[in-house]
Structure formats: structure tokens, C-alpha cells
Structure 1
Amino acid sequence: MAPRLALRALRYLASTHTHTPPNALALPLGARSARLASTQPKASNSPAPSSNPSPSSSVASPSVSSPASRQTPTDASASASTQAGPSKTADRLAIPPLSRPPGVPNPPTAIPKSWSQRKDELLDEERHKAKRKALSANGGKLWTAPPVLIREDRALYFPDISGKSLLSTPVHTTSLLANRTSLVTLLSTRISEEHVQSFISPVLEDWSHRPGFQLVQINHQDNPLKSMLLTFFLSSLKRTVPEERWGSYIVSSGAWSAYDVTGPLGIENKLLGYVFLVDHNLKVRWAGCGPATPKETEDLRTATAVLMRRMQETHGERSKAEQPA
């Protein structure tokens, strides 16, 4: 019995020299191994601190570069693309000038087209693709107005648009625009009305009461429900329009032909307001759309003055030629 107790005592003394923590035997095997590993001293890869520390300096050592000063090729290309990004976006969003004279090549007529002609126009897929492309570009504004009048030999005719005036009489623009300088506006929404006003307000201050000048407003509603509602509110509409302009305010309903009206005039976005300066020969000499810029407003004002002066000179020469000798 004594030898066994002595053997156990020797084993116990041998186990006390392993420096195992007292609570390590109560842990699971994996946790116990991690606990023992954490108690071992870790080797450090950092160099030992020097006994003579160097003085601080604002100049970095050439052998060590800071992370901010290092730039990988990927970072360089990313920064270059960031710098070039705004210019490319600005080019994409730049609104082009009016590319062609708006209007139709032949003098307008009040005779309607046949059903077969209209059916061929509706099935033209290329025109529909061009329309969708124009709607998605530049936030809706389609062009910037020309700085000067369109030359008479290159100008095209304003198409015939029919409707009813606020006097409840049938009206065709072909007869209404003849022998006058006309400022024609196309609107269909409240936003388009604001666009139009941004163009025409200074011009009306100069010419609204001058002979030979007229403002023609065309309110177009292609939706049958909206068109019907507009007829119910004609009395309230009359209160917003001066009585002397009731005869030149046209309410037009139904869809306009893409070949005869919207296409030639460049009406690709129905939410915008459009302004056309038409001479006494029914030719479109200036056009604008969307909200007017200060330059566009001043250009329209100048173009109207030039066109009115030329018309007065032409009529003065005609009146002199018609006088008896």
C-alpha cells in the first residue's frame, strides 16, 4: 500500500512542473489548446526600438512611401475617368440647335387626307423609332432656337390646323395667318403654357397692339376625355384670355398627323410648349420649344421686330405701286 502512495506522490510532483493553469483542465480539448497557446509569448516581427531615436522630420524617407502617395494603375485610370466624366456628361446633355427649318414644303390646304394615306403614315415604324429617341434625349427640350430669322427662300410653310375659336366658330390656320406676322403658340398642359409665356411676354409688350401683328394660341387636346372636359370649362378659359384674342384662340381636338403637323413642326414631346414666328406668306421664320433661355427670349424679340419692319416695307411699296399715277 505504501509503495503505491509513494508512486502517486511522485507523479503528482512531476505534474506540478508543467505550469498548466488551474482551470485549464476544466475546458474542452480545443479550447484548452487555444488557452495554452495564448499563454505562450508571441514573436514580434517589428524591429526593436533604437536606443537613439532619430529626430522628427517633415520629409518622408525615400525608402518608405505612404499609402496615399502610392497609386496603382487601376486607381490612375479611375481618377482619369472621374475627371473626364463631367465633360462627357455635359456633351451628352448639350441641347442641339434647330437642325432644319420647321414646316411643310408645300402650301397648306384645308382639304383632309384620305383614310388610306393616314393608315400608311400610322404604320411607319421608322418615324416612331425616331420619335422615341427624341423623347429620351436632353430631358425633353428638343432644340435651341435659331439666333436669327430663317431665310425666306429656305423657310417652309406652317401646316393647316383646324379647330374652333373661343367665339365657337370653325377656324383654319391657313386663312387666319395670311397677310399678317403671327406669333403662333402650341400648348396642351399647364407646363407648356408656362413655357410659351417665357417666350412671348416681351414680344407682346412691344407688338400686341400694333397693326399687322397677331398672337395665335392653339390649345391641342388629343385625349377625348380631356377634350370633352375642356369644352365644359370654356367659360372659365375665356376669363383668362382677353376678349380681343378670342377669335385667334383655337381649341383643337383629336390626334394630329405625324406627317402633316407634328413631324414637320418637330413636335416630338407633347408636354412642351412650342412657339413659331410665321410671316405673312405662312412661312415659319423662327421656332422655339420648352422653357426659354434669356438669349432665346431676346432673339425672338429681335426677330419679330425685323420681320415686322420688312412686312411694313413690303406693304408700303405695294401701296405706292397701287396708287394711280
Structure 2
Amino acid sequence: MMRARWAAGMLRRASSGEASLAARAVFARGFLGLNMKASKETIEKKEKDKARLMDEMSRGYFADIAEIRKNGGKLATANKIIIPEIAAVKFPDLSVKSPDGRTVNLPLVAPPRNDDPQTGNTVDTQNDDCKAGDMVVPDASLVCLSFRASSQKMAETWSLPFLDAFSSAGNIQVYEVSFIDSWLLSSSPVRQVFLKVMTKSNNPQRHAVYAFGDHYYFRKKLHILNLLTGYIYLVDRLGRVRWQGFGSATQEELSSLTACTSILLDGK
């Protein structure tokens, strides 16, 4: 009897020891797994930051100046014809602020047609009140990007003739986006004061808006390198880029912009 009790006690202690070892092993594996995951994320972030640093060091202010002196900001001629739907890329998501403090998420995109949710990007062309959130989606938007004050005048050589041509012709909007990358101006209290002193456009189709903070990855998506020139995009109601221009407008380029916009408005 004593031997049986002794054997049972030894068995319980052995089982308890094995369970403890198993629990420790599970804990160790979990801890090591989390640690390895954190280490991997840290390494990936460092590599990403290093690649960004090398990219930005390879292209500085003086390189931008030299290029502007060479071509006057005209990095390439604007599209002569509209970009086909099958080749058009989506304009990257961009959150901007208007002088009245409202947040606008560009591009404005029409929702799928109500009677056929499986159609993806198909929209109801008969619905004149198609909205993205609480905003009516325009049939065509001209989005003008300025990363420095020097390019804002360039943007106006496109936006003002565009408004003159189409202000009464259809559902169009112009967004003149100024990028503010200063950490001071991007801070919440200063940003609010900055927006209050900015002049709001009297034209309901013309919007001066501001994008605060880092814009590196946004620029990468659009392959933007030179920050001293203007970038102009004609965007359709599905948020796709259908035409692109650079720098200051020429009369020939304005004609192509007008023709491409007319195609979007006629084919809505």
C-alpha cells in the first residue's frame, strides 16, 4: 500500500513537472514569436526609412531649380487626347482642408448603381444627385497640385480658363491643392489659425484647399519629383486620371484639356 501511494505521488509530481515544462515551452514560443515579429517590423521600417532617405537625398532643391531653369517647369507636354478608361489609374486618396475647416477627401467618387450592387464602379448616369458622402460628385474635376508657392500661379493658368470654359456647361469642380509640409503650420492650433486667414473662393466651383503634413508617399504614387512646378490632373467621376499637364498652360494644351473635359461631360 505504501509503495502504491509513493508511486502515485511520484507520478503526480512527474505529470505536474511535464505540464509546467510544456507551459513554459508554449510561453517561450509565443514570446519569441512576438519578439521576432516586432524585430521584423522594426527591420522593415528601418529599410523603408533608409530607402526614403536615399531617394530624397538623390533629388534635392538645387536639382529642382536646375530643371526649372532648363524647361520652365514644363516637365512634359500635356496629353493631347483623353486617357482611355482601361489605361486610366485612380487618383491617390488625399485628405485636404478648406478655409472653413471642412475636410474633403479627394477624389470624389460616385457610388455603385443602387439597382445593381455587383457592377462595381458602374454608376447611375441618370442620377444627377450622385453623391460621395454629403458632396455631389462632379462629372469632371480639375485637380491642381502646388508644393511650393512658386507653382500656384502656374496652376491658375489652367484653372481660370477651365472655369471660364465650363462654369455653365456642366457639373465640374476645380480643386487648387497647396501642400503644407511645415511641422509648425501642420500642428493643430497653428493650422486652425492658418485656415482662418486664408481667403475662401467666391466661386462655388473653385476650391482652394490645403494638404498638411508629410506627402512623400502620395507623391510617389503619382511619380512626382520636382516640387517647384505645378501638376494638373483631370479626374472623372470614378476618381480616375483622364488627362495630365505640367507647369504653366499653353494655348494648345488648354485646347486639349477643353476637348477631353467635353468628352467626359458628354459621356456622363
Q: Same fold (TM over 0.5)?
A: yes
Choose which of 143, 159, 166 in structure 1 pairs with 2:99. Answer: 166
Task: Please list every run of 5 or more consecutive structure 1 residues that lacks an aligned counterpart in the other structure.
Answer: 1-113, 312-325
Choose which of 174, 180, 184 in structure 2 pairs with 1:215. Answer: 174
Residue 159 of structure 2 corresponds to residue 200 of structure 1: yes
**Hey, what does 2:51 align to over in structure 1?**
124
Cα 1:166–1:264 change in 2 (3 A) is: same
> Structure 1 residue 193: deviation in Å?
1.3
Cα 1:130–1:238 change in 2 (3 A) is: same
Q: Distance in 1 between matches of 2:210 and 2:45?
A: 22
Cα 1:244–1:120 change in 2 (3 A) is: farther
> Structure 1 residue 142: deviation in Å?
2.0
Q: SS at 1:124's partner residue?
A: helix
Alignment-mate amino acid for residue 75 of structure 2: L
Q: Distance in 1 between matches of 2:42 and 2:211?
A: 20
Residue 183 of structure 2 corresponds to residue 224 of structure 1: yes
Q: Distance in 1 between matches of 2:182 and 2:86?
A: 37
**Hey, what does 1:91 align to over in structure 2?**
none
CA contact (8 A) 2:95 2:105 kept: yes
Q: SS at 2:199's partner residue?
A: helix
CA contact (8 A) 1:134 1:268 kept: no
Deviation digits for residues 14-65 of structure 1 (CA, Å, limit 9, x no counterpart) = xxxxxxxxxxxxxxxxxxxxxxxxxxxxxxxxxxxxxxxxxxxxxxxxxxxx
Deviation digits for residues 187-225 of structure 1 (CA, Å, limit 9, x no counterpart) = 243321110111122211121244421112222111123
Q: Distance in 2 between matches of 1:257 and 1:130?
A: 14
CA contact (8 A) 2:172 2:205 kept: no
CA contact (8 A) 1:184 1:275 kept: yes
Choose which of 194, 199, 204 in structure 2 pairs with 1:238. Answer: 199
Aligned length: 193
**Hey, what does 1:152 align to over in structure 2?**
85
Q: Distance in 2 between matches of 1:118 and 1:294?
A: 46
Q: Distance in 1 between matches of 2:264 and 2:42?
A: 38
Residue 202 of structure 2 corresponds to residue 269 of structure 1: no
Of the structure 1 ranges 183-192 and 273-282, higher mean CA displacement relative to structure 2 is found in 183-192
CA contact (8 A) 2:99 2:195 kept: yes
**Hey, what does 1:254 align to over in structure 2?**
213
Task: Please list every run of 5 or more consecutive structure 2 residues that lacks an aligned counterpart in the other structure.
Answer: 1-40, 111-136
Structure showing greater radius of gyration is 1
**TM-score using structure 1 length:** 0.51
**TM-score using structure 2 length:** 0.61
Q: Distance in 2 between matches of 1:117 and 1:146?
A: 38
Deviation digits for residues 69-96 of structure 1 (CA, Å, limit 9, x no counterpart) = xxxxxxxxxxxxxxxxxxxxxxxxxxxx
CA contact (8 A) 2:170 2:265 kept: no
**Hey, what does 1:143 align to over in structure 2?**
76
CA contact (8 A) 1:145 1:288 kept: yes
Aligned Cα root-mean-square deviation (Å) = 3.0
> Structure 1 residue 249: deviation in Å?
3.7
Alignment-mate amino acid for residue 306 of structure 1: I
Q: Distance in 2 between matches of 1:272 and 1:168?
A: 27
**Hey, what does 1:183 align to over in structure 2?**
142
Alignment-mate amino acid for residue 237 of structure 1: M
Alignment-mate amino acid for residue 281 of structure 1: L
Cα 1:269–1:233 change in 2 (3 A) is: same
Q: Distance in 2 between matches of 1:161 and 1:230?
A: 17
Q: SS at 2:215's partner residue?
A: coil
Q: SS at 2:224's partner residue?
A: coil
